[in-house]
Amino acid sequence: MTCPICAAATGCFGTATVLQAHLAEYRQCKSCGFLFVHEPAWLDQAYASAITREDLGLVQRNLWLSGAASSVVSTWLDAGGRFLDYGGGTGLFTRLMRDAGFDWYWYDPFCHNLFAQGYAAEIRDGVSYELLTAAEIFEHLVDPVAGVAGLTALSSNIIFTTQLLPDPPPPLDQWWYYGLEHGQHVSFYSRKSLKLLGERFGLELTSNGDNLHMFSKKAFSELLFKLVTTPLVSALVSRIASRRSLLPADFQRAREGQGRADADR
């Protein structure tokens, strides 16, 4: 079997029981190091709930990523553009970014929008965004190439979170990120595999070497990327480059029943 990312040969990394019921085969690329589940047959069961009970870090992750994304936008991109949170869950991140003054929208086909109602994006041809955020999406992609193709159709700048696969990879019962208890994580990336994945779409990889990464037309200084996305520095950048919050205007629209229709983006 060949690698879904680079088409090199793969070997069996091991097997494990997922959701306490399904035997899963994990394979790893012999060239780029990408590790993935071969034909996961339990995904309907795994996604019975879009957000797993184990995802206790959801709020903290949104708070951290909102600071990091604000800092990246203020440092390198057009802060006055339109932005999209893809796989945006409850809409918490979109609300945080709008509160911070950025024109951010939400999209998630699997989760109910609680916090960004009226700011849901319709995914259609001809609509693009200055930046797309994808928090904890890549590890869910059964077909990473097809998944990223969908993202790049919306933006050439993508900030995403996923834990880099340690080298050497831990045994299947010794790394929490495999997610055997919930079964939603099926793809695990080495740095090399992410780099090759981006290159398939003409994009460069910038990474903090851990859990925060960016695809873009040009690579940015990784030292600076790591620096501006740390909580302390991102808070400083956000203060220096602060924008007028959209919360008052959004609140007024909601009061007047004029929240933007979900289909108009």
pLDDT for 56 equals 83
Q: How is residue 239 written in tokens?
A: 């203060």
CATH of the domain at 106: 3.40.50.150
For residue range 183-196, list pLDDT tens digits in order: 999 999 999 999 99
Report the alpha-carbon distance of residue 240 to residue 189 in Å, rounded: 35
* Overall domain count for the chain: 1
Closest CA to 136 of 50, 265, 220: 50
The answer to whether residue 10 is domain-embedded is no
For residue range 164-173, list pLDDT tens digits in order: 999 999 999 9
Sheet holding 10-18, edge to edge: 10-18, 22-29, 35-38, 187-188
The answer to whether residue 135 is domain-embedded is yes
- Distance set, CA 22 to CA 9, 18, 204 (Å): 25, 5, 37
The answer to whether residue 125 is domain-embedded is yes
**Residue 136 pLDDT > 50:** yes
The answer to whether residue 163 is domain-embedded is yes
**Residue 262 pLDDT > 70:** no
Please state the pTM of the whole predicted model: 0.93
The answer to whether residue 233 is domain-embedded is yes
For residue 100, the SS3 value is coil
The answer to whether residue 23 is domain-embedded is no
The answer to whether residue 44 is domain-embedded is no
For residue range 63-72, list pLDDT tens digits in order: 999 999 999 9
Cis amide bond preceding 168, omega within 30: yes
Residue 146, domain extent: 50-264
The answer to whether residue 17 is domain-embedded is no
**Residue 260 pLDDT > 70:** no
